[in-house]
Amino acid sequence: MPVKLRKTPLAWKNLTHDWRRLAVALAGIAFAVLLMFTQVGFQNALFDSQVKVIDDLHGDIFLVSRAKYTLAAEKRFPLALVKQAASVPGVHGAYPFYSELTLSRLKNLSPNRRSKAFPIRSIGIQLDDPVIDTQSIRDQIDKLRVRGTALIDVHSRQANFDFPRDDDKALAASPAELADKSIKLVGTFDLGTDFAHDGNLVMSAESFADFFPQRVPFGDPLSVVDLGIVDVSDDADIDDVRDRLDAVIDDRVFVYTREQFRDKEVSFWDTSTPIGIVFFAGKVIGFIVGMVICYQVIYSDIADHMSEFATLKAMGYSRGYFIRLIVVEAVLLALIGFVPGSIVSYGLYHVLAGSTGLLMRMTIPAALTVLVLTLAMCVASGLLAVRKLLSADPASLF
């Protein structure tokens, strides 16, 4: 009975014949993976954090000032337009949303605390309006019915807003000032910071007007709004209602669906600011670093085994065989190096999310993106490294 010969896993043998060199190579590739994960993580955190407040709002359509190029820009429009939107067929309700950053500065007056006031985004809502879907806010609405009270975002930057986060009684006992007026923090909620805001407060519209009367000199501070939130009737089509609103509301506002509003915000930060370019450059640098490391590993491996490759060439092995061999080595390096790089990145994401309040999340799309980049950089390095072997004459390799 003929003996069936097993193929020798030459690519794996070449990689593992020197475990010390393999460990160094994997460390280098893992470092490149970490670099790319960091850039992808921060970029996704930028986008996700900027639109988190949009995701947490209860509404189907949003009215936005045409001058408001990003959510952080304080460009407002009259409350009358929100009321006008409420009368359009298919609209179940239209509600105002108030936001302030320029005038909103929070100071902790507790002994032994920093006495400096820091900017914080203050959000004002009509407490009986279905404006916010965040459960931690909805559960504490009644606490906000007392004028001069607010909830503070549990992710607000600790260095600036050093208030108790786990004990509502201790938080309420901490003296504080907002816009040079006494404020009582009665609870916490979960929203998260972003690249424009180090923290958030939520309060009733009446408290909001008390703290920021300067929004409208000699007028009602609630007569201008930062967003209009429109709830569409269950039996109406959102796109049809959006078109009706766009035809009725004057040209001082844009009318967006939720997806349009999110896409506009993401597009601004991705294309109109240097931040998106910086993160893209970081991914390119990580890719190049990994490519150089992988090239050096595979090139050194080819050089160390040049005589063995010469024998194989003299025996008639084709160019395609050598290309496949090196590509398999590159793929093995990429897959093995990706594992420790992704594990370290996951831990780094957790640390950064806790310290910054940003939405640093290891998502499947992000992981697949980095894996594809890792495979591409290793395969490209292998194809560059194998050129010398392919062009050499077998007799000259001995």
**Closest of 349, 358, 350, 355 to residue 160, by C-alpha:** 355
**Closest of 276, 288, 300 to residue 374, by C-alpha:** 288
Q: Give the whole-angstrom CA distance, residue 196 versus residue 203.
A: 20
Q: Give the whole-angstrom CA distance, residue 144 versus residue 220.
A: 20
- Domain parsing of the chain, residue ranges: 10-49+274-397, 56-271
Q: pLDDT (tens digit, 9 = 90+) per residue, 80-116?
A: 999 999 999 999 999 999 999 999 999 988 877 666 8
Rounded to the nearest 10 degrees, what angle do helices 306-314 and 274-304 cross at? 70
What average pLDDT does range 291-313 have in this prediction? 77
The proportion of the chain whose per-residue pLDDT surpasses 70, expressed as a percent, equals 94
Distance of CA 71 to the CA centre of its chain: 16
Q: pLDDT (tens digit, 9 = 90+) per residue, 127-179?
A: 999 998 888 899 999 999 999 999 999 988 888 888 888 888 999 988 999 99
**pLDDT for 232:** 94
Q: Give the whole-angstrom CA distance, residue 350 versus residue 361.
A: 8
**pLDDT for 4:** 46
Residue-level length of the chain: 398
Confidence of residue 1 (pLDDT cuts 50, 70, 90): very low
**pLDDT for 13:** 72
Residue with tokens 């009215």: 63
**Closest of 372, 383, 387 to residue 37, by C-alpha:** 372
